[in-house]
Amino acid sequence: MKLFTKYMTRNDCYTAGRKITPKGIMVHSTAVPGVMAAEWFSRWNKSYKAGEINRQVCVHAFVDDKEVWQYLPWDHRGWHAGGAANNTHIGFEICEPAGFSYKSGSVMVGYDAAKQEDYFFKAWQNAVELCVMLCREYGLDENDIICHSEGYKLGIASNHADVMHWFPKHGENMDTFRKAVKKALENSTDNNTDIGIGDMVEFKVSVKNYYPGSVEVPTWVKNDYYHRVTQTLYKGKPVIKGGKECVLLGKKVKKSGGQEIAGINTWVAKENLVIVNSIPDNKGNRTYTVQKGDTLWRIAEKELGRGTRYPEIKKLNGLTSDTIYPGQVLKLPE
């Protein structure tokens, strides 16, 4: 999951400055075909009070098949539920693909499920991983996740159909979504590591095969490169090979310097890998790969001993803002 942060500071919801203690997560979908996550900033970073937009609305994030864009702090009170859930729930929207239209508000016209299957499950996967990250951050679990239509039935949200007008077209529903989140949470606990999209990993020294029954791992794959995880699910479900859950290694990272290039594109058992957080570069600097939930302050606190040293990281990496995202490689000062 690639997470980008860019707060909608012009939106009246942001300037209201109200905070919440998140007790749950509400899943929405946009009902605006073809508008992807990054495009919503220009649409909604406007003030209703100033007459710049005709809606009083703002969600915490948008998700599509490639990335997640966070537009409000997670503990900021959003305007997404149309009810009491605004006081308790983080809300995010899953973007819908182009190629169809709506009638009667929630009826998809011309939606080709087979054609859109690849998009749907990639967006589903990013939504699952976002929920996993938020559950860990705020002590939640899969039972704390609902969609907008479920919120309406509970009396804490306005009357909207999402996401149950869309998920069933791909054989899914909120129960299967919650199961996918639960599975991901359990796997990270059982393995004592959370290997996810964007993580940099390396093979354990003792590893012989990619997974039980597969071909032998070449020496150069283990000795010369770290690897970047680019996929953890297929069609919304874990990939099992040789009886082991696997992740896809889609990029290689040279151990000598950290250059990132095309990968081996091979599914590998998670138990054969370990996460790599920092590597030396050619200039003698250490590097750190940004993990889910990281901030510059947290990285400085963990790697440099004091959170107040975060400006040194910004300067060394030429950053003009505090925005970082999982998978990003940062140089660390000595």
Selection from 90-104, 121-135, 273-287 with the highest mean pLDDT: 90-104
Band (pLDDT 50/70/90 cuts) for residue 187 is low
Report which residue type is found at 331. K
How much is the average pLDDT of 247-275?
Answer: 88
Task: Output Rg (C-alpha) for the chain, integer angstroms.
Answer: 21
**Are 100 and 20 part of one and the same domain?**
yes
Q: What is the DSSP letter of 19?
A: B
**Are 205 and 183 part of one and the same domain?**
no
Q: Is residue 149 part of a domain?
A: yes
How much is the average pLDDT of 78-106?
Answer: 96
Q: Is residue 192 part of a domain?
A: no
Number of domains in the chain: 3
Band (pLDDT 50/70/90 cuts) for residue 192 is very low
Asked whether 296 and 290 are in contact (CB, 8 A), the reply is no
**Are 125 and 263 part of one and the same domain?**
no
Q: Is residue 111 part of a domain?
A: yes
What's the whole-number average pLDDT of the chain?
89
**Are 41 and 70 part of one and the same domain?**
yes
**Are 178 and 251 part of one and the same domain?**
no
Q: Is residue 334 part of a domain?
A: no
**Prediction pTM value:** 0.61
Look at 286 and 49; give whichever has higher pLDDT.
49
What sign has the CA pseudo-torsion 51, 54, 56, 57?
A: negative
How much is the average pLDDT of 293-297?
Answer: 87
Residues above pLDDT 70, as percent of the chain:
94
| Owning domain of residue 293 | 285-329
Q: Is residue 28 part of a domain?
A: yes
CATH number at residue 316: 3.10.350.10
d(CA 79, CA 91): 8
* Of 187, 206, 240, the domain-final residue: 187
**Are 95 and 241 part of one and the same domain?**
no
Look at 214 and 207; give whichever has higher pLDDT.
214
Q: Is residue 311 part of a domain?
A: yes
CA distances from 292 to 2, 131, 135, 156 (A): 9, 11, 12, 29
Judged against a pLDDT cut of 80, whether residue 327 lies above it is answered with no
Judged against a pLDDT cut of 80, whether residue 259 lies above it is answered with no
Give the residues across from 251 on adjacent strands.
Answer: 228, 262
